[in-house]
Structure 1
Amino acid sequence: MTELSPTERAMIDTGMVGRLREQRISTLDEIHAINGVPKESTRTKDTPFLTPLMAEFIARSPFFLIATANADGSCDISPKGDPPGAVRVLDARTLAIPDRLGNRRIDGFQNILTNPHVGLIFLIPNDDETLRVNGRAFITTHPELLASMAIDGRAPKLATIVEVDEAYMHCARAFLRAGLWKPETWPDPETVPTSAAIVSEQRALPPPDESAGKRREPYRATLY
């Protein structure tokens, strides 16, 4: 972890964490006493494989998140997007995920090499329910599989294979609370801080040129 500068340390209320820890929950029984216990139908809704309807859900999903952790437990989560059907359901226990162009940090790959456990959540636009999949992953260079995943004539160089341990649907409450698919709740994208602006802030650089049409320009040029 990068050491904080004196200025950054001054922005953090170290005493606050200590005060919050005084009311820390430390046992599952304490949580159940506050939240109650799940219904039997909720507790047993997961399956150790993908049902046909789950496979259809994945085939319609253009976006998902994948969570990984290294051998020490440090976590990472990464968004992934492609046209629907890009994530392949090879069989009821196996998914194949193409690796597209990115920033080459490969945080997730580094984690998978030391800890294969992954968690995925699949989204479909304008649908408030999501599909969660947990399993164990490895990275492959299988040529036929990679060739079959080409887009615009460009095949991925790597793919992640996920062996499914459990899968289940997640309820719609989070999306309904957020109003995620309601355009009237969306902020003006021109007012949202971009990664370029945040990096400039981190490095004490002048603000980047983000005039009309330039905010997403570098990404659009390197999708595949």
Structure 2
Amino acid sequence: MQEITDETELRELIGEPLPRAWEKERTSLHELDRAWLAASPFCLLATAGADGSCDVSPKGDPAGYTLVLDEGTIAIPERPGNRRVDSLRNILTNPHVGSIHLIPGRGDTLRINGRARLVRDAPFFDDMVVKGHRPVLAIVVEVEQVFHHCSKAFLRSQLWQPETWAPQAVPPRAVLAQTLERPDATLSDLEDYYGPSYADGLYRGQ
């Protein structure tokens, strides 16, 4: 492998960005960013621990779940999950986060980078109730950098083109769980667990 070890070498290979690639960065949310967040049901949240170890966590809810508190602040509700809280533990020691907000069918995306803190209660939690579930905490992000990405990655991957989808290319979730995580469980029990009723526990935890 021919490794790249410094930015000079990297720039020689990749080149310099066009001025507009730098100039599109903003430090506050535009009305179009607010509209994007109101339409987005999903984001990927990147964090890093004090030791530099990284984590990317998916976050999803009905469209508009990322609340805009003001032009420089957003809030993302935390829903029941596996309780590993990798990203939350990272935020406690390193507040720097990055997020990519998606709208299904759109190739462009919205990136928001900033500093996060964990909030266990606030009046805006009432606006985060879904199916009667009020989040136990929220990730509040002070926006430091915001801009839109173009569609190249989505066009290359053909992500939104159903004819390219192959959900059966790997074994179903129950088989993965038995093989990699829960070898003592029967496949039948795991198929029941991850079956149609799995969605019933999305907001109460399982």
- State if a TM-score over 0.5 links the two structures: yes
User: How many pairs were matched up?
Assistant: 202
Report what 2:145 is aligned to: 166
Q: How does 1:99-118 map to 2 (within 5 A)?
A: 99-118=78-97
Question: What displacement does 1:223 show?
Answer: 1.1
Distance 1:113 1:203, change over 3 A: closer
Question: What displacement does 1:212 show?
Answer: 8.0
1:85 aligns with 2:64: yes
- Structural RMSD (CA): 2.1
Q: Distance in 2 between matches of 1:28 and 1:146?
A: 43
| Structure with the greater alpha carbon radius of gyration | 1
Task: After superposition, give the CA deviation of every residue in 1:92-149 in whole Å (9 maximum; x if it has no partner).
Answer: 1100111111111111110000000000000001100000000000011224222221
Task: After superposition, give the CA deviation of every residue in 1:23-76 in whole Å (9 maximum; x if it has no partner).
Answer: 110111111111111000112211011111011111110010000011001000
Q: Distance in 2 between matches of 1:194 and 1:68?
A: 29
Report what 1:47 is aligned to: 26
Question: What displacement does 1:199 show?
Answer: 3.5
Q: Share of identical aligned residues, percent? A: 44
Q: Which runs of 5+ in 1 are unaligned?
A: 1-19
Report what 1:128 is aligned to: 107
Q: Which runs of 5+ in 2 are unaligned?
A: none
1:34 aligns with 2:13: yes
What SS does the corresponding residue of 2:146 show, helix, strand or coil? strand
Distance 1:47 1:204, change over 3 A: closer
What SS does the corresponding residue of 2:16 show, helix, strand or coil? coil
1:192 aligns with 2:141: no
Q: Give the TM-score normalised by structure 1.
A: 0.83
Q: How does 1:58-73 map to 2 (within 5 A)?
A: 58-73=37-52
What SS does the corresponding residue of 2:115 show, helix, strand or coil? strand
Report what 1:178 is aligned to: 157
Q: Distance in 2 between matches of 1:80 and 1:219?
A: 17
Q: Give the TM-score normalised by structure 2.
A: 0.90
8 Å Cα contact 2:101/2:109 also seen in 1: yes
